A and B are shown apart, each in its own frame.
Chain A
């Protein structure tokens, strides 16, 4: 149980285009999902907290108009990187908090974004 999927696993896009990343909880409901960004050999950096049915809470320094987050259902959150630039190239990982199960978060496999 507690499986989180992400799609796509890898994506290459051109500068100026937008790309959407999906995060799904496959066998549980997730009232809260988190989006992280990870640079090579570094720790996970929290970008935003996404609660089902409400606006996401963004961490300081993260542009909410550039990184659009939608959490439309208890099993799906999406991150859209708008007007992508090469510096947006990174590993994006989501995690989901298991509703009713105190504290645990389960991570997706990550999405490697490369902006050319």
Chain B
């Protein structure tokens, strides 16, 4: 089955700096890669996603890049703010309709004011 690894497990950055979280996956059939933000005591929120036919996607301060050859994808957050502090999970999915997600182990991001 699919195996998703995520690094780092914890990340601290100064407010205004950039944060990068990286994930690798094992199954070349994976074609959908979402990123979720989870605040304490809440469910994960989809913040950005990318499909295998695209190399990069950006939404304001958040961007995701995908390297299919190397089987890795990354989340980039620029101009970080204290409210970006949360746990971030990457995931990989095979197929198009309701297939299960394989989650990374999470990255706890702390933005220091």
Nearest-neighbour CB distance to chain A for B98, whole angstroms, equals 4
B105 at the interface (CB under 8 A from A): yes
Shortest CB-to-CB span from B27 to chain A, Å, is 15
Count contacts between A and B, CB distance < 8 Å: 59
Q: How far is the CA of A106 from the CA of B49 in the complex (A)?
A: 12
> Is B49 a contact of A107 with CB atoms below 8 Å?
no
- Interface pair B43/A107, CB less than 8 Å apart: yes
A67 within 8 A of B: no
Q: Report yes or no: B36 in contact with A104, Cβ–Cβ below 8 A.
A: no
User: Size of chain A's interface in residues, with CB distance under 8 A?
Assistant: 24
Find chain A residues with CB under 8 A from B96 CB. Answer: 102-103
> What's the Cα separation between A102 and B106 when bound, in Å?
24
Please encode chain B, from 57 to 99, with 1 for each CB lying within 8 Å of some chain A CB and 0 for all others: 0000000000000000000000000000000010001011111
Question: Which 6 A-B pairs have CB atoms at the shortest separation, nearest pair first?
Answer: A32-B98, A97-B98, A107-B43, A102-B96, A103-B32, A109-B43
